[in-house]
Structure 1
Amino acid sequence: MRAFLSSKSLYLVSGIVCFSCVLFLLPATAADDTTLSTSGITDPDLLQLQPGEQKYQVGVSYELPLSKALVINNDEAPTDVEIAQSNLTHQTLIVQKGDNLSSIFKRGGFSLGLSYKIDNLGGDAHKLRKMRPGDAIEFISEGEQLMFVRYPFSRTETLVVSRVEGQFETAIETMELETRVNFARADIVSNFWNAGINGGLDAGLIMDLANVFGWDVDFALDIRAGDSFAVLFEEQYANGEYIKTGNILAAEFINQGDVFQAVRSEDGNFYTPEGKAMRKAFLRAPVNFKYISSNFNPRRKHPVTGKVRAHRGIDYAARTGTPVVAAGDGKIIRSGYNQFNGNYVVIKHSEIYVTKYLHLNKRKVKKGQRVGQGDLIGTVGATGRVTGAHLHYEFLVSGFHKNPKTVKLPEAQSLEGQPKADFIAYSQPFMQSLNNQKRFSLAMAN
């Protein structure tokens, strides 16, 4: 019996010990079902509840608060424009030899009628007629409908054709350019053109420089080895990339020891630093010629007839078709043809000055028409009694023939009074910069 009781006591003690261990190992929050765990609760109303209380009732709907992390930021949401753009398709076509607007539209999958519709807009839309092989044209569509056409017709300008409420409109996008100032200087060894290229000038800037000083310097006949030039000019950039050359700001040309200087005014005209106009009333030569085939000579032997007869002008040899321009402002008093002069034009500039242009291939003006200096009046030819293509140019003063190469040309109007004083002050920083750059360039060369 004692043994039996001992076994029962042993089992009882073991059970008590096991139960105590379980109670010890359970979390304190689970020991009392009336104690509410607050771990992870952020609602202050729930934290203030007493045992047995409840905030929500079964069968009643309540607004569900969302975590801030789940709320969409309106600033980051896609806009209507972004949604619309995401539905656009882009294709860029390269213009091929023989392409025209309709063939390019067809290659892009668009109808011939659509190309006609855009071409008939006229104005800027006609730039599409001037596309050249290698140019790119971009088509932007929404589904099957063409929305935009983009054609960059220069490095800085793009034609944009847009569909607006079912109709097409044109606009020109112009790239914003940054202007920088550059400097170049060179000595002439063989000719002005080569010196310009060696000095880092492009073809356009070389011609601009010749035009600035062309009233004082004959760039075909007067240039000598040892002449030099210095020029301060603009360059234009977009996004750090060079785009093109801008205006000449100030320049100097030394020809056979004579120093000529010019500064560009705010109105685009050039004056000496003292305000004297660089522009003369007449161009020294009205054509871009290769050489003078016959000078002004009162007793020249005619190359065709062999007779001694005064040559009252200068013959400028040039290729047939080379443009001939008016030497100065005036009125066309003759434009015709005869067997000796061929096609010819005569311009009256004032009661004192008259110029004549003979042996033209084609005449581009009519009698009675007014022209300005530099306007096209014809092209070089070999019409009339001649031995080869050239322009015969005469310059008359009060009815008397003068040598066009040496005649003293009247000057254009120079600045006077306050405008002159203002320009002199305006020109000084440009000339100072030009001279400083020139000294630095010469020091580096030595």
Structure 2
Amino acid sequence: MQYAIFGANYYELSVEPNFTSSHYWRKFVRYRSRLELDYKQTSIGKSAKPQYRIFVAGTFITLLLLGCLSAYTLFASVNIEPSTESALAQQPVTTEIISLALEEAAPSPTSKQIVAAPRQPVVNTRAENPASELTAQQLVTETALANPPDKHTRVIKPGDNLSTLFTALGLNAELHQILQLGEPVQQLKSIYPNQKIHFYLQDQALVRLELETSLNRHLVITKQDQTYSVSEVVRDFDLRTRSASSTINDSLFLAGQRAGLSDAIIMQLANIFGWDIDFALDIRTGDQFAIIFQEKYLDGAKVKDGEILVAEFINAGRSYRAVRYTDSQNKTDYYSDHGHSMRKPFLRTPVDFTRISSKFDPQRLHPILNTIRAHKGVDYAAPTGTPIKAAGDGKVIFRGSKSGYGRTVIIQHGAQYSTLYAHLHRYAKQAQQGARVKQGQVIGYVGQSGMATGPHLHYEFRVNGVHRNPLTVKLPDAQPLPATEMTRFKYRTATQFAKLDELSHSLLASNDSQPEKSSD
């Protein structure tokens, strides 16, 4: 009887999820040994040893067959196909009752009816369950969508600061916590007008902050587990190429606007050729230009102009060409079609001026002293405060007041050249005496200090200590690309110059063609 009960228990537990055959077999052997010992101590066991052996052997074989059957059922259930498993889950549940055959012969307190639970596929609880993780993520997403944070956008105005912006939303404590992050949030401390800052609030608490540091860069501060973290999100621009050409009949800016160019692209064009052409003095009617440049897009909308890729400017019949090129050292600049840098050692004009109020003249009548005194430079009239740029790389050898010059800066460019800038309103902080400056670096601002009748820059150019006319002096050429770079340069720029040739020819053809007269 007890062997029969144990066999039934073996079958019942074999279908449980955590059933392990080897474990239960060891338990069976221990139970069998105890039953054998109990049986031998009875009178029947002592007097019927052969029958006992037959009974034990038969019972053991029966239980072994039951174990094999349950093991087969176990392994078959593990390999159930998903579709079959789903079908089983949808079938009506039927309760099976296993009656023990030997229960009537010898009732025992341990004998019972075993109600088998509905068959379920075996699940390995130790294996990972991606479906459960996905469900959890979906729950988090659904919860966030059900309660999205409120977005508050502020456009920074003059006079705004972080304190006023955060206080208006009741976020004083959050501001203090964010500022404790130090260097990563330095850009947040340097906000300026027209920037946008986005506050994301959930249940009146700040969960996210975004500062638009540029068109495609955002400083993002996110709250997680009661602490804030900082990251920068950078979006790539969609670059699109565009071409334009025009003939100058009045001014470069008006011709550029007729061609659909922005002021930024027109200025970029003037800067590229500014070492060779004085756009205030040298422009002639009939001059032409053709350019190929990039435009930057985000989300299908143009947000800003890109760089000029290749350009040609025809001034007084002479052609100047330039292409944007990045050399093998990853240095990008503009070069002529012969590989010479467009960036010369000296700027032709060191200030953005409105007009030339006085030219280089050895016999000029001084407007204040009313005497003949040589004017050894050029006066560029410009509004007070207009930035003045260093004409070339060099060292500041003088900064201070100089008699009738007023506030003056003198820069030495190597052993041969020097430039002088006078009548300044004030100096730039970086242009200290003895400091090294780079071409184009701001060294001061236009004023009328000293003997001056109005705000302007007095500019002198000296070669070996001798004054030369800044408007006509021949400036030294830039060094060309090294011979080892020229093969790469020609290969990389050939396509751009071919496109420029096609554009220039189209411009010339349109200028040469005459409109046909219609006949009635």
TM class by shorter chain equals 0.7 to 0.9
- In the alignment, which residue of structure 2 is the partner of 1:3? none
Q: Out of 79, 102, 106, which is 2:137 matched to?
A: 79
- Is 1:290 the counterpart of 2:354? The answer is yes
Take 2:446 and 2:509, find their aligned partners in 1: how far apart are those partners? 46
SS in 1 for 2:278: coil
Compute the displacement of 1:129 (Å). Answer: 4.3
- In the alignment, which residue of structure 2 is the partner of 1:415? 481
Compute the displacement of 1:130 (Å). Answer: 4.9
- In the alignment, which residue of structure 1 is the partner of 2:300? 240
- In the alignment, which residue of structure 1 is the partner of 2:440? 374
Change (3 A) 1:347 1:439: same
Take 1:130 and 1:387, find their aligned partners in 2: how far apart are those partners? 39
Q: Out of 103, 115, 119, which is 1:60 matched to?
A: 115
- Is 1:256 the counterpart of 2:322? The answer is no
Take 1:149 and 1:85, find their aligned partners in 2: how far apart are those partners? 17
Take 1:274 and 1:348, find their aligned partners in 2: how far apart are those partners? 30
- Is 1:106 the counterpart of 2:164? The answer is no
- In the alignment, which residue of structure 1 is the partner of 2:245? 185
Amino acid at match of 2:462: L
Residues 201-232 of structure 1 deviation map (CA, whole Å, 9 limit, x = unaligned): 21221111111100100000111111111111
SS in 2 for 1:114: helix
- In the alignment, which residue of structure 2 is the partner of 1:69? none
CA contact (8 A) 2:245 2:507 kept: yes
- In the alignment, which residue of structure 2 is the partner of 1:309? 373
CA RMSD after TM alignment:
2.7
- In the alignment, which residue of structure 1 is the partner of 2:454? 388
Compute the displacement of 1:138 (Å). Answer: 2.4
Unaligned runs of 5+ in 2: 1-86, 99-113, 122-129, 514-520
Unaligned runs of 5+ in 1: 1-41, 47-53, 67-71
Change (3 A) 1:106 1:182: same
CA contact (8 A) 1:92 1:136 kept: no
- In the alignment, which residue of structure 1 is the partner of 2:407? 343
CA contact (8 A) 2:218 2:234 kept: yes
Residues 177-213 of structure 1 deviation map (CA, whole Å, 9 limit, x = unaligned): 2222111111111111111122122122111111110
Take 1:134 and 1:78, find their aligned partners in 2: how far apart are those partners? 41
Take 1:63 and 1:411, find their aligned partners in 2: how far apart are those partners? 94
- Is 1:355 the counterpart of 2:419? The answer is yes
Amino acid at match of 2:272: V
Take 2:471 and 2:319, find their aligned partners in 1: how far apart are those partners? 20
Residues 17-68 of structure 1 deviation map (CA, whole Å, 9 limit, x = unaligned): xxxxxxxxxxxxxxxxxxxxxxxxx87xx9xxxxxxx9723972523669xx
Compute the displacement of 1:409 (Å). Answer: 0.5
CA contact (8 A) 2:417 2:462 kept: yes
- Is 1:430 the counterpart of 2:500? The answer is no
Compute the displacement of 1:171 (Å). Answer: 1.8
Question: Equivalences for 1:271-282 in 2 at 5 Å?
Answer: 271-282=335-346
Residues 242-286 of structure 1 deviation map (CA, whole Å, 9 limit, x = unaligned): 122111111000111110001111132111111112111000011
SS in 1 for 2:380: strand
Change (3 A) 1:89 1:197: same
Take 1:96 and 1:265, find their aligned partners in 2: how far apart are those partners? 38
Change (3 A) 1:441 1:411: closer
TM-score (ref. length: structure 1): 0.81
- In the alignment, which residue of structure 1 is the partner of 2:396? 332
Change (3 A) 1:311 1:120: farther
Take 2:466 and 2:308, find their aligned partners in 1: how far apart are those partners? 38
- After the TM superposition, which segments of 4 or more aligned residues of structure 1 sit over 6 Å from their partners? none
Compute the displacement of 1:345 (Å). Answer: 0.4
Q: How many residues align?
A: 391
Take 2:474 and 2:305, find their aligned partners in 1: how far apart are those partners? 34
TM-score (ref. length: structure 2): 0.70
- In the alignment, which residue of structure 1 is the partner of 2:471? 405
Compute the displacement of 1:73 (Å). Answer: 6.4
CA contact (8 A) 1:297 1:311 kept: yes
Question: Equivalences for 1:159-198 in 2 at 5 Å?
Answer: 159-198=219-258
**Which shifted more, 56-65 or 315-324?**
56-65
Structure with greater strand share of residues: 1
Structure with greater helix share of residues: 2
Change (3 A) 1:322 1:442: same
Amino acid at match of 1:224: R
CA contact (8 A) 1:273 1:428 kept: no
